Chain A
Amino acid sequence: MQSTQTESTPSGSGQRPTWPARWLIRLAVLALPGMPARVRYRRELEADLVRLPRARQFAYAMRVVSRAWALRRAMGPKDSLSLNTEGAHLEFVKPVLCRINVHHEWKWQSTEDGQRYRRCVLCGKDDDGLASKTQAGVSINVVDRPF
């Protein structure tokens, strides 16, 4: 999509976001379901920060944090379980073994910008510590065993 913006540049725009504001945005997106949504809104909200004067960035980020749960609810329950690569939606009850973090059935997914990550197809949990876990041999990945 080509932007057709002809906006005037306000004073203070084009500023690199301050680290507290960036940190707050990253905190806010943790409330969102799934890695694709987190990556999307982190990029989107950080792009908004750049448009603001540095003095206003922290207040903006604080309000984003305060409304993070509203954003999650607005995305709807299906989004929390969307499988980005297949465009399919699964609705399921979280298995007990997933709840107590003993067993997950990991499946590779891609974010909108092509980053790869693993998600449990049973409960929707993202494998955030993928690299360290697999290197240490701690990852439990029993794909073939149904329950």
Chain B
Amino acid sequence: MGVPRMTIPTQRVLRVMLSDSREHYGLEIGQAAGLASGTVHPILARLEALGWVESEWEDMDPRSEGRPQRRYYRLTAHGKVASREALARAYRPVNTRSIRTPATEGM
């Protein structure tokens, strides 16, 4: 199993999934990660192909609920470990203005 390209959207998706152990559906992940619609499903498909994420149809009756079944995603055991490691190694852009220290401000 490989490692996906840790783009910023991929990191956001993984952080959302790691932050909450419950299952999420695609739209919910996209909204929580602040991603535009259409972005999250390719990321989830890539993670699923790598075995980091698994998905299942919701167990409910669409007629009684009055809505279609959702596809729920969750990190696999391997995915949890691998994504934590990948996020730890991933590049995180640093806002240089935010690293102003009291010492430098006084200068």
**Chain A residues within 8 Å of B, Cβ to Cβ:** 1-5, 7, 14, 40-41, 43-48, 50-52, 59-60, 63-67, 70-71, 73-76, 79, 112
Number of interface residues of B (CB under 8 A): 28
Within 8 Å by CB of B68, from A47, A52, A76, lies A47
Would you call B37 and A71 a contact (CB within 8 A)?
no
Q: Which of B52-72 contact A (CB under 8 A)?
A: 56-60, 66-72
Contact status of A44 and B45, CB under 8 A, knowing A1-B57, A63-B38, A67-B38: no
Would you call A44 and B71 a contact (CB within 8 A)?
yes
Would you call B27 and A1 a contact (CB within 8 A)?
no
Would you call B46 and A4 a contact (CB within 8 A)?
no
Contacts of A67 in B (CB 8 A): 38-39, 41-42
Closest to B68 in A: A47
Contacts of B3 in A (CB 8 A): none
Would you call A4 and B41 a contact (CB within 8 A)?
no
Contacts of B6 in A (CB 8 A): none
Would you call A3 and B41 a contact (CB within 8 A)?
no
Would you call A48 and B27 a contact (CB within 8 A)?
yes
Contacts of A74 in B (CB 8 A): 41-43, 45-46, 49
Closest to A52 in B: B27
Contacts of B23 in A (CB 8 A): 1, 3-4
Q: How far is the CA of A131 from the CA of B60 in the complex (A)?
A: 32
- The 10 closest A-B CB pairs, nearest first, are A67-B38, A63-B38, A74-B45, A48-B27, A74-B42, A74-B46, A70-B42, A44-B71, A47-B68, A60-B37
Contact status of A3 and B68, CB under 8 A, knowing A63-B37, A70-B42, A75-B45: no
Would you call A76 and B49 a contact (CB within 8 A)?
yes
18 A-B Cβ contacts within 8 A? A1-B72, A2-B59, A7-B28, A14-B66, A14-B67, A40-B71, A44-B26, A44-B41, A44-B70, A47-B67, A48-B25, A48-B27, A48-B70, A52-B27, A59-B37, A64-B41, A65-B38, A74-B41
Contact status of A3 and B49, CB under 8 A, knowing A14-B66, A14-B67: no
